[in-house]
A = this chain, B = another copy of it.
Amino acid sequence: MSEAHLEYVLGIDIGGTNLVVGAVRRDGGAVIGDHSHPTEPSRGPDAIVSDLEEMSRHTIGLVEASGGHVVGLGVGAPGPLDTARGVVLLTPNLGWVDMPLRDRLAEATGLRTALDNDANCAILGEAWVGAARGARFAIGMTIGTGIGGGIVLDGRLHHGAADCAGEIGHVTIEMNGRRCGCGNYGCLEAYASGPAIAVRAVEQLRLGADSVLDALVDGNHDRVTAQTVFAAAHDGDELAMEVVRDTARYLGTGVANLLNIFNPDLFVIVGGVTQAGDALFEPLQREVARRAFKPAVESCRIVPGALGGLAGVYGAARVFLNAESSAPH
């Protein structure tokens, strides 16, 4: 039997922008060969799976070259999923319909494989070795193209009755508010996802507000992103600062809702917007304190993720380890 410190689990994170693959040591203490590759849906649904297979084999080779070996594979994918069958049901961004991702990767690598939701993986990674390590009840929010989440109770994900728990971006915060991509009105995601932040800034620009954003995108409003908004706010632009403050209020409302429902001891926020740092987190914390019950606020730390782009890789590896430990022997 091999020594545990030479055992690795392959973790795969399938993002809208990048595919990331790395081999995580069984104790979470090291990663070999974290490797990122652009997600290229234009090449077709099969090309993405081929890329993942290729990246996996390459990473396995790196682990073996270092004297280790890979014992399993975990993969985080955008949902909805059928985790029991290991199938990604529908992911329009990637062109996937009923993609049997688990079995495809298992065949390509010869490894036992487990599949979970991408947001769940990111939060589980943070709970394992990141900012939520040691928390008993951790809630996580992933902010990117959409807003997702994960609920970790005593080190394990809460999946719910049909594997779809944790859709915290689709909590209604304004009953008659903005239309959301999900078809509902007033979801948190419709206000505070990356694209929603850009949309709110552009609405202000079109009303004629004066802002350096115009210059930053050469007058082409289609090029405004959450990143440009945060950059302009960092430089003191009034319009951008207001958009960031509003974003913090929306996110704070969503976080406060979860504190009142769940009373977690840790709330971790991951994704690009956390790079805004205190400019976002300070007004967010104020909004939470204004809306949530005092004991719920006082018992919960609200922190940015600590693993950056590797949270999903760590979490995917942990998904495999959790599945392994609960499987019949």
Query: Which A residues contact B (CB, under 8 angstroms)?
Result: 80, 136-137, 149, 151, 153, 158-168, 170-175, 182, 184, 249-250, 253, 256-258, 260-265, 290-293, 295-296, 298-300
Return the chain B residue nearest A180 by Cβ: B291
Contact of A160 among B161, B167, B249, B262 (CB under 8 A): B262
Identical copies in the complex: 2
| B168, A299: Cβ atoms closer than 8 Å | no
| A162, B299: Cβ atoms closer than 8 Å | yes
A-B pairs, top 9 by smallest CB distance, nearest first, are A160-B263, A162-B299, A161-B265, A165-B263, A167-B260, A161-B299, A162-B295, A171-B257, A170-B260
Report Cα–Cα, A27/B234, bound state, in Å: 63
Return the chain B residue nearest A260 by Cβ: B167
| B172, A253: Cβ atoms closer than 8 Å | yes
| B263, A164: Cβ atoms closer than 8 Å | yes
Return the chain B residue nearest A297 by Cβ: B162
Highest count of chain B CB atoms <10 Å: which of A174, A261, A299: A261
Contact of A164 among B159, B173, B250, B293 (CB under 8 A): B293
Contact of A290 among B153, B184, B260 (CB under 8 A): B184
Q: How far is the CB of A177 from chain B (nearest CB, A)?
A: 8
Question: Quick one: given A172-B291, A253-B175, A291-B184, are A164 and B261 in contact (CB under 8 Å)?
Answer: no
Return the chain B residue nearest A266 by Cβ: B161
| A175, B174: Cβ atoms closer than 8 Å | yes
Residues of B within 8 A of A249 (CB): 175
Question: Quick one: given A160-B137, A160-B263, A258-B261, are A170 and B299 in contact (CB under 8 Å)?
Answer: no
| A167, B293: Cβ atoms closer than 8 Å | yes
Highest count of chain B CB atoms <10 Å: which of A164, A168, A299: A164
Q: How far is the CB of A275 from chain B (nearest CB, A)?
A: 25
Report Cα–Cα, A225/B175, bound state, in Å: 25
Known pairs A161-B300, A162-B295, A163-B295 / 7 extra A-B pairs, C-beta < 8 Å:
A136-B161, A160-B264, A164-B260, A173-B175, A175-B250, A184-B256, A257-B257
| A296, B167: Cβ atoms closer than 8 Å | yes
Highest count of chain B CB atoms <10 Å: which of A80, A136, A171: A171
Question: Quick one: given A171-B260, A173-B175, A253-B172, are A137 and B164 in contact (CB under 8 Å)?
Answer: no
Q: How far is the CB of A134 from chain B (nearest CB, A)?
A: 12
| B261, A168: Cβ atoms closer than 8 Å | yes
